[in-house]
Amino acid sequence: MSAVLDDEIRGSRRIVSVMGTVFSVDVRDLALDSEAVDRVVGWWRWVDATFSTYRSDSQVVELGDGRRGLEDCAVEVRDVLALCRDATEASDGYFTAEPGGRLDPTGLVKGWSVEVASRMLHGAGSRVHCIAAGGDLRSSGSPAPGRPWRLGVVDPFDRTRVAAVVVGHDLAVATSGTAERGPHIVDPVRRRPATELASVTLVGADLTHVDAMATAVFAMGERCRTWLARRPDLGALVVGADGRAWVQQPCAGARIEVC
């Protein structure tokens, strides 16, 4: 994809450069320049300004270095930190809001912001839409009568090809790995870079949870097999650093098709 200058419409999609990546909104039952879609774009820009770890004036940075108290933060910051604590417990400690010892909830924020955006569109009357944000995808309804969404997962070793397709309705899909940002995930339990896997794609019902768990599963490395076996609510495509892949099929009518 060519560079996104700021916020533009291409074909049937509204495309925004935000949070260090590209977000796109494909809405089939609302105009792309409607107030509802404008509010979603504004929401993502607010999230970026509030939660960015690269802006010295963001609430998360000011909270982390002591210039701001939690009581002085937006309620959304407090909500996200509570969700992070839940994710830490659910992942047996493999998800953390303090990678490297500093406050950084971004392993959950992007998926959460997309999940909230999907709910905003629902509130505006949209029942058919798909949001893509880096490796996170949230779909609603069916793109056409009798047709499921088909959401592609990029090969971590060759970003020009699709490694798998997730098929279904009302999908939450999150991928963590090295394809977009290089090695950046730390195993907080063993306190070292996570290098055993090349990518993890999870499929579930809520993108906030799915996104956080994808980060945690990547940090687990090969240990993730045992953890995922206890989570039949999550489908998974796990690709090892050696290129070998295995699949745990999702429930609720969705499926993962390996290409």
Domain membership of residue 148 (yes or no) is: yes
In a domain, 2, yes or no: no
Could you report the per-residue pLDDT of 185-226, keeping only the tens digit for each?
Answer: 888 888 888 899 999 999 999 999 999 999 999 999 999 999
Percent of the chain scoring above 70 in pLDDT = 96
Per residue in 245-254, pLDDT (tens digit) is 999 999 777 9
Output the CA torsion 148→154→158→162 (10° steps): 0
pLDDT at 185: 83
Give the model confidence (pLDDT) of 132-161 as tens digits: 998 899 999 999 888 999 999 999 999 889
pLDDT for 73 equals 98
As beta bridge partners, residue 256 has 166
User: Could you count the other beta carbons within 10 Å of the beta carbon of residue 202?
Assistant: 31
In a domain? residue 164? yes
1 domain-assigned: no
Name the domain count of the chain: 1
Q: Tens digit of pLDDT for each residue in 40-98? A: 999 999 999 999 999 999 999 999 999 999 999 999 999 999 999 999 999 999 999 99
Output the six-digit token pair for 35: 């107030």
Q: What are the CB-based long-range contacts (under 8 Å, 24+) for 128-131?
A: 128/27, 128/28, 128/29, 129/25, 129/26, 129/27, 129/28, 129/29, 129/30, 130/25, 130/26, 131/23, 131/24, 131/25, 131/26
Residue 212 sits in a domain whose CATH number is: 3.10.520.10
Q: Would you say residue 90 lies in a domain?
A: yes
pTM value > 0.85: yes
Burial class (CB within 10 angstroms; exposed 0-12, middle 13-18, buried 19+) of 33: exposed
pLDDT at residue 162 in the model:
92
Predicted confidence band of residue 2 (pLDDT cuts 50, 70, 90)? very low
Residue 53 lies in a domain: yes
- At residue 1, does pLDDT exceed 50? no
Domain assignment of residue 19, given as a range: 7-258
At 182 the pLDDT is 61
